[in-house]
Structure 1
Amino acid sequence: MTDAPPTIIEVTGSAPHRIHVGRGLVTELGAHLPPTVAKVLVVHAPPLAAVAERLREQLAGRIEVLLAEVPDAEGAKRIEVAAFCWQIMGQTDFTRTDAVIGLGGGATTDLAGFVAATWLRGVALVQVPTTVLGMVDAAVGGKTGINTAEGKNLVGAFHAPHAVIVDLDLLEGLPTHEILAGFAEIVKAGFIADPVILDLLEADITVATDPASPVFRELVERSIRVKAAVVSDDFTEQGRREHLNYGHTLGHAIEHAERYRWRHGAAIAVGMVFAAELSRLAGGLDDATVERTRRILASLTLPTGYPLSRWKTLLATMQRDKKARAGMLRFIILEAEGRPRVLNGTDESMLFAAYQEVGE
């Protein structure tokens, strides 16, 4: 099958960069590095060791390639792992004109971005996401971070990538449950900005989630465009970018409660159901949109509930969330599809009432 030519999606504003979407793009990675680069550090998880080695061979001759194998998933997002990467860079005289490549899922690209942002106060970064979550969310937009014992992404930096290479061929062999978990962020993009995404998912969920289908590519590109438009307007999350946190306040608390054994997409799915229920109570969201949220997430075999008994634990974690201001919780709710807004200082009784609709 002849695939469509690469699509280029621009992030403009204060931190411009390009996202390249297509197939076979990783074979041209060298063309997307800054011309000054003599050395790159490829940060990758163990399952991607063979891909990282192919990149080393591909760039051999003109660029020295260092490999940093890091733990898989959220285990990578620890200060000890960042320090391991810094050690490699320090011992190999990594300079400000060199670059970091993040090769992996959302956790790997978060870590690689943080390492690039902090080494010598910032070196070039090229993200090569290998999961749906990484492609439509984590690798796009320049947010980087690591976790602490107190919560997720509490330490981080905004650091725009030089380029993001979304090579759909890298999804080959990815387990179905991993692909479906990544769709939570696609669903989020549909509800906060682009309802066509929701229509495409409801038309044929099997085709929509097949990485070989044109519909899958369209969904990936639409989701990236949603995030690119928001980031172009508000790179450092002073306003509109907060809308991208729809479902994330409770979702991150669930991830923390589960010690990151839950996939990000699964936790965000529950978080979106909670946000929809809160939107119904606080913002007048119609019943049909709330039920549509549950129906679409269920069609992706993503969870829509969490134990009622865990509420106090989740509330305590949310109160430490990086989105809180002066001790007040902030949530993104919907007034309607495509119309998100910030909800400040919500009464705890209303939060619990919304959670009761999620609790099992």
Structure 2
Amino acid sequence: MTPDVAQDERVRVDLSDRSYDILIGGGLLAEAGARIAALGAHTVGVVTDENVANLHLQTALGSLNAAGLKAETIVVPAGETSKSWEVLGRVVDGLIAARVERGDVVLALGGGVIGDLAGFAAAIVRRGVRIVQAPTSLLAQVDSSVGGKTGVNSPRGKNLIGAFHQPSLVLADAGALDTLPAREFRAGYAEVVKYGLIDDPAFFGWLEANHAGVFAGGPERTRAIATSCRAKAAVVARDEHEHGDRALLNLGHTFGHALEAEVAYDGERLVHGEGVAIGMAMAFRFSASLGLCSLADAARVTAHLAAVGLPVSPRKIPGGVGGAEALLAHMRQDKKVERGRLTFILARGIGKSFVSRDISEDQALAFLESELG
């Protein structure tokens, strides 16, 4: 699929009576109030983090107030450590105290952590309150805000506690990305690359030629976001609860989540998108070592990720990581494990990814040892 969209875009996620729109464009946070009021809400529980609150909360609150909506704000610490039982309890209590009812809306204002946390809280408060996702990071705009996956982390692994809870609307304000630190934007770009590597080699080639424009902003950025959202929307419509090919969206995540767990979700050492970038490079190198794809394709993937400044090897993680056995132990807790069998997303080439449950632990261990050696 070659990207071809205008500056402002609407992508439909088709889930019958739970279908919703992803709106992509500038100034959408300033329109949040009118769009949420149109859903029939009266009270909005705004969940955000300290960093995003300083940048975007006043815009969102001004919009909600202008639309005549009652708004209550819950601010949590920034970072992956907020995806915990403790912080979830604070958010749930705050929403109940604000008297957010089933007909009201929780507004997730922030990146992937906030989207997952607020979405899970909305799923369990009063057995389900509507959620509107207002993602402010590239990673959240192209991935975590779409598809209804919500949750928090366990000390035993990432995203092991959660629920599927589809949003009523996604407001992807491209202008919010202008305030994103360069490292966070690069990390989000890894999820954009993922869609090309799964099943769209033309998109991957377009990114190779146009990544500078995506980073600079303008039409290339909006094209990349909209193409990514269309790809994810199509997968979610086919397989909402990840019983089939939605698992392909985890390309790079089996390795990446293990690396995140190994550094105890320390965002100074490794953020999620960086883990995904390393994981995708590893998935292609693993595939090449198994004779599934060419060394040239693996090298091409690694080269593109490195060209934009993303890490491509676990040896690039500051402070290093534990041994192969430690990483394999984390992978055994991956939520895609079935009856004790590891699940990998591997590739027969760029745009030719597939789900594999036929890899032995010995094969995985030998590969991990080669990557860490």
Q: Give the TM-score taking structure 1 as reference length.
A: 0.94
Length, aligned pairs only: 357
Match of 1:200 in 2: 206
Match of 1:269 in 2: 277
Match of 1:10 in 2: 12
Match of 1:239 in 2: 244
Match of 1:342 in 2: 355
**CA–CA distance in structure 1, aligned partners of residues 361 and 6 of structure 2:** 50
Match of 1:31 in 2: 34
The runs of 5 or more residues in structure 2 that have no matched partner are 316-320
Match of 2:64 in 1: 59
After the TM superposition, which residues 119-130 of structure 1 pair with which residues of structure 2 at under 5 Å, given as runs? Answer: 119-130=125-136
Q: What is the aligned-residue RMSD (CA, Å)?
A: 1.8
CA offsets, 1:38-80, max 9 Å, x none?
1011110112224223322222262110000011121221111
Is the counterpart of residue 40 in structure 1 residue 48 in structure 2?
Answer: no
Instruction: Look up the equivalent residue of 2:342 and give its one-letter code.
Output: L
**CA–CA distance in structure 1, aligned partners of residues 28 and 59 of structure 2:** 13
Instruction: Look up the equivalent residue of 1:74 and give its one-letter code.
Output: E
**CA–CA distance in structure 2, aligned partners of residues 202 and 90 of structure 1:** 47
Is the counterpart of residue 351 in structure 1 residue 359 in structure 2?
Answer: no
CA offsets, 1:262-304, max 9 Å, x none?
1101111111112112222446112221111110110121111
**Structure 1: 4+ residue segments shifted above 4 A:** none
After the TM superposition, which residues 212-231 of structure 1 pair with which residues of structure 2 at under 5 Å, given as runs? Answer: 212-231=217-236
SS in 2 for 1:172: helix
**CA–CA distance in structure 2, aligned partners of residues 203 and 250 of structure 1:** 27
After the TM superposition, which residues 275-294 of structure 1 pair with which residues of structure 2 at under 5 Å, given as runs? Answer: 275-282=283-290, 284-294=292-302
Asked whether the 8 Å contact 1:270–1:303 carries over to 2, the reply is yes
Deviates more, 1:35-44 or 1:195-204: 195-204
CA offsets, 1:314-345, max 9 Å, x none?
10011011110111101111122222211114
Instruction: Look up the equivalent residue of 1:28 and give its one-letter code.
Output: E
Return the offset for 1:204. Answer: 4.3
Asked whether the 8 Å contact 1:274–1:354 carries over to 2, the reply is no
Return the offset for 1:30. Answer: 2.2
Match of 2:138 in 1: 132
**CA–CA distance in structure 1, aligned partners of residues 341 and 349 of structure 2:** 24
Return the offset for 1:96. Answer: 0.8
After the TM superposition, which residues 107-118 of structure 1 pair with which residues of structure 2 at under 5 Å, given as runs? Answer: 107-118=113-124
Return the offset for 1:28. Answer: 1.2
Match of 1:20 in 2: 23
Of residues 90, 94, 100, the one that matches 2:96 is: 90
After the TM superposition, which residues 294-309 of structure 1 pair with which residues of structure 2 at under 5 Å, given as runs? Answer: 294-307=302-315
After the TM superposition, which residues 67-86 of structure 1 pair with which residues of structure 2 at under 5 Å, given as runs? Answer: 67-86=73-92
**CA–CA distance in structure 1, aligned partners of residues 210 and 102 of structure 2:** 48
Cα 1:11/1:283, change in 2 over 3 Å: farther
Is the counterpart of residue 316 in structure 1 residue 329 in structure 2?
Answer: yes
Return the offset for 1:352. Answer: 2.8
Asked whether the 8 Å contact 1:246–1:275 carries over to 2, the reply is yes
Return the offset for 1:5. Answer: 4.9
SS in 2 for 1:67: strand
**CA–CA distance in structure 2, aligned partners of residues 244 and 189 of structure 1:** 8
Give identity over the alignment, percent: 37
The runs of 5 or more residues in structure 1 that have no matched partner are none
Deviates more, 1:276-285 or 1:78-87: 276-285
Of residues 53, 63, 68, the one that matches 1:49 is: 53
